[in-house]
Amino acid sequence: MLLPRAASAAATEALLPHNLSPWGMFMGADVVVKSVMIGLAFASLVTWTVWLAKTLELSRETRIARRRTALLESDTTLAQVEHDSQGKTDAVAQLIHSAVRETALSHGMFDDGFKERIALRLERVEHAMSRRISRGTGVVATIGATAPFVGLFGTVWGIMNAFIGISEAHTTNLAVVAPGIAEALLATALGLVAAIPAVVIYNQLVRGITSYRALLGDASAQVMLLVSRDHGRRGMPVARAAE
């Protein structure tokens, strides 16, 4: 009576994988679960790539915007700051170029609609620069929202295959099905590994972009003040310009 039990134990031992490391579980997983894991690993790589690129971009653009805003707050003229930003493509330089362009198109007429035209141009530039600095964050938000469900899909698929294996093996021995369940749960773990940093990184980027937009708003206000001071220095009051 001991021989059948020994044979059954030996068979069970033969079915059990000897490598239950994360790599071993990945190699032993079903092709669908493997695909899910590879996709989640790629999504995590994308998240960290976007984080590095956008962090460097935000740091650089914020530094330039603060320097130009400080210049706008000094005792200077629109022509001077336009000369200093000649050939530059940063956000505050674009605000300055837009204000100079509208001033040229208005032929120096500081009438009632001039401020509205300047404000409209500056607002359009602000929105364009905000869209440019926000590029890539939507991908991170999507990864943070969907990665747990993708990992859960891989887990459900793997557990389903594990139970099919129980049915085919005609045994209820947990040792036979445990490796398959472990492989399936690894997909959920990878989903969380991809999703949690994505959510944290997205929130961090949103805070940085919000601060950058506020800085552009300050720069836009300084450009408006500079335009107003320039026309005041030229001695062109609104009433005279409207005549």
- Residue 201 pLDDT > 70, yes or no? yes
Q: Count the helix, strand and coil residues of the chain and give each as a percent rounded to the nearest 5.
A: 85, 0, 15
Give the pLDDT of residue 237.
42
- Residue 1 pLDDT > 60, yes or no? no
In sequence order, what DSSP letters do the residues of 80-135 get, joined into one string?
Answer: HHHHHTTT--SHHHHHHHHHHHHHHHTTT---HHHHHHHHHHHHHHHHHHHHHHHT
Report the pLDDT averaged over residues 138-154.
92
3-state secondary structure at position 212:
helix
For the whole prediction, is pTM greater than 0.85?
no
Counts of helices then strands in the chain (DSSP H, E): 9, 0
- Residue 189 pLDDT > 80, yes or no? yes
- Residue 51 pLDDT > 90, yes or no? yes
Percentage of the chain lying above the pLDDT 70 cut: 75
3-state secondary structure at position 237:
coil
